[in-house]
Amino acid sequence: MDIRYFLLVYFILFFTCSFWGVSYRVARRIKKNPEVLPNDDSAFALVGRYFKRLMLALFLYVVFIAFVNEPAHYLPVLQWLAYPWLQHLGVTLMLFAFGGVLIAQYQMRDSWRIGIDTETKTKLVTTGLFRFSRNPVFTGMLLSLAGLLLAKPDVATLFFLLTGYLLIQVQVRLEEAFLVKEHGIVYQQYQLKTRRFL
């Protein structure tokens, strides 16, 4: 399969399964929308807005390259990464990341949220993939963006990786500060024995 079509199918499945699908399933169980991003002037809201825009831009990118002949004319290729074996590695990373994200979301069960839920106290999950990473969903998202860069090395995918990395770093710190307040010493002990990402 042409890498351009693989990326289109991959991100359609990624967004459908790991965002809309999981959110719908959790919403039915908890009788509440698990997307709790605020709509104010806070840092939480700002990061959430930029992250949504980045995801929209990423989706438009994969649609663009799938249906435009010779996308390299519009998006310069990073030749120092343009090797077949790196492309294969990138695809492998993306598939691995997708599986990891779905497993971590399943393990979160009703604690899954998009954003920080300040109204409902959720269970702290420390088992499964959360034994190895405090943020396996974000880790999977970063691996997916890194895989995208290797699979289709151009200026756009480099932008998505760098911007996604910065936004995730900020979001994770905001969430962890909240979790310290919410779970106290239990979360602090978890921080000491489990890495933030990998």
Note the pLDDT tens digit of each residue in 136-195: 999 999 999 999 999 999 999 999 999 999 999 999 999 999 999 999 999 999 999 999
Residue 16 has pLDDT above 80, yes or no: yes
pLDDT band at 80 (very low <50, low <70, confident <90, very high): very high
- Residue found under tokens 């990341």: 97
* Helix-, strand-, coil-residue percentages of the chain, each rounded to 5: 75, 0, 25
Task: Tell me how far the alpha carbon of residue 42 is from its chain's centroid.
Answer: 21
Q: Which of 171, 135, 150 is nearest to 52 (CA)?
A: 171
What is residue 61's predicted lDDT score, i.e. its pLDDT?
96
- Cα–Cα distances in angstroms (integers) from residue 169 to residues 109, 117, 130, 138, in the given order: 23, 18, 17, 9
Within a domain: 198: no
Within a domain: 124: yes
List the domain range (segments joined by +) for residue 175. 3-193
**What total number of domains does the chain contain?**
1
Residue 70 has pLDDT above 80, yes or no: no
81-95 per-residue burial string, b: 16 or more CB within 10 A, e: under 16: beeeeebeebbebbe
Identify the CATH number of the domain in which residue 103 sits.
1.20.120.1630
Distance from the first to the final alpha carbon of the chain: 31
What is residue 119's predicted lDDT score, i.e. its pLDDT?
82
Query: Is 156 buried (19+), middle (13-18) or exposed (0-12) by CB count in 10 A?
Result: buried
Within a domain: 19: yes
Tell me if the pTM is above 0.75: yes
- Tell me the C-alpha distance between 128 and 150, whole Å: 28
pLDDT band at 22 (very low <50, low <70, confident <90, very high): confident
Average pLDDT over residues 130-140: 96
Within a domain: 182: yes
- Tell me the C-alpha distance between 52 and 159, whole Å: 15
The H helix count followed by the E strand count for the chain is 7, 0
3-state secondary structure of 77: strand
Within a domain: 187: yes
- Tell me the C-alpha distance between 62 and 88, whole Å: 18
Q: Is there a contact between 55 and 15 (Cβ–Cβ < 8 Å)?
A: yes
Within a domain: 139: yes
Within a domain: 86: yes
